[in-house]
Amino acid sequence: MLPVWRPSRRRALGAAAMGIASLLGCAIDRATAADVTPINFVEAVHNLGYINLYVGMRSGLFEAHGLKMTVSAAGGDTQAFAAVLGKSAQFAIGDATMVQMSREAGGPGIVVGTVIQRAHYFGVSKNLNVITDPKQFKGLTIVTSPEPNTNYSVAKRMLEGAGLKVGVDTKILEVNPGTEIGAMLADKADMAIAYQPSVASAVAQGAKVVFDFSTYVGPFCNTGIMVLPDYAKANPQVVQSLVDAFEEASRMTYAKPDFAKEVARMEFPDLSPDVVNAAIDAELQYKIPAESVVVDPLQWKNLMAMQIYLKNVKGSIPFEQIVDNSYAEKAIASIKK
């Protein structure tokens, strides 16, 4: 049974996190209480694809940039962006296609950074052998999160690109995000398309990775930082501070993998430490977490190509009007000084 994440595990840093920062030798100058801005921040689901966020939280980087983060998991990409639209959260991370959809419908939204730079999904199975050609999915049942979550979209495009008709040649079982592995282990599907640490947990229970979506898809803006333009215009320094912290956290994740593993074990204490360590090893091996917060145009192009193919968006609004990389560029410039 996979652990259920509870918001109570994600409280403010406290003494333990301060101790971690000290052990790392991080020279973090804390902002004074008067300078700290409270931020409601929503993640689509709690998973290790977002390790950059957790490294930033546990190392004190967000506090160092004057932000007091309250993080909650929404339960999906749509719900995460809905929190921003409804102004119950200032920022959300999830499938940045949500912003494109909103803008094409005449609504608001911009993307100010990337958190996951490749499709962070793996096909996991108890019984299948390694799949090298998507045509081999014929006759199988695979399980994903519901449409339009990213792992569903990626799977559907892959199948149709291989000439397979969804629902006829290959069936997609849609379940709540985070429960994909459980459905596969219960023999409701031949393969689950899931993310870490669920993948490593399944492997520890006798399953194996049979398909690697990060390599199949290539550069891909899997997860973006989303905010309303009005909020960014009224609070440019808050947005800059958040992006600055993410840039530093992204670099720290790759520079200090042992610390990233320590953070991951704290985020998922109900899992075996070996499982969590293996999950982080896979994340970094396949370069799934963003190495920089800058949204690469190729990553965005591949995301939009998939969503246009699936008819989720028209692609009528160009990259430059959806993505504002100015904050990320300033973050990089400040680090280089």
- Number of C-beta neighbours around residue 187 at 10 A: 10
187 phi-psi bin (left φ>0, alpha ψ -120 to 50, beta other):
left
**189 and 237 inside one domain:** no
Question: Do 242 and 112 share a domain, yes or no?
Answer: yes
Backbone φ and ψ for 225, nearest 5 degrees, come out as -90, 120
CA dist list (Å): 59 to 25, 245, 268? 10, 10, 16
Strands lying side by side in the sheet with 37-43: 67-73, 37-43, 91-94, 219-227, 110-118
Domains identified in the chain, total number: 2
Residues 199 and 253 in one domain: no
Structure tokens that stand for 267 in this block: 């985020």
User: Amino acid identity, residue 124?
Assistant: V
In this structure, the answer to whether residues 111 and 257 fall within a common structural domain is yes
Cα end-to-end span (Å), the chain: 48
Q: Per-residue pLDDT averaged across 202-209, rounded?
A: 94
Q: How far is CA 169 from the centre of its chain?
A: 30
1-49 pLDDT, tens digit each:
333 233 333 333 333 344 454 444 443 444 544 579 999 999 999 999 9
**Per-residue model confidence (pLDDT) at position 4:** 29
What residue type is 232 in one-letter code? A
Residues 184, 298: one domain? no
In a domain, 4, yes or no: no
Q: Can you give the pTM of this predicted structure?
A: 0.84
Coil, helix or strand at residue 165: coil
Please indicate, yes or no, whether residues 212 and 304 belong to a single structural domain of this protein: no
Specify if 165 maps to a domain: yes
Instruction: Examine the domain organization and report whether 87 and 25 are in the same domain.
Output: yes
Structural domain for 201, as ranges: 122-217
**Mean pLDDT across the stretch 211-227?**
94
Percent of the chain residues topping a pLDDT of 90: 81
Q: pLDDT for 248-280, tens place per residue?
A: 999 999 999 999 999 999 999 999 999 999 999
Q: Which long-range contacts (CB under 8 A, 24 or more apart) does 84-88 make?
A: 84/42, 84/109, 84/226, 84/227, 84/228, 85/109, 85/228, 87/228, 88/40
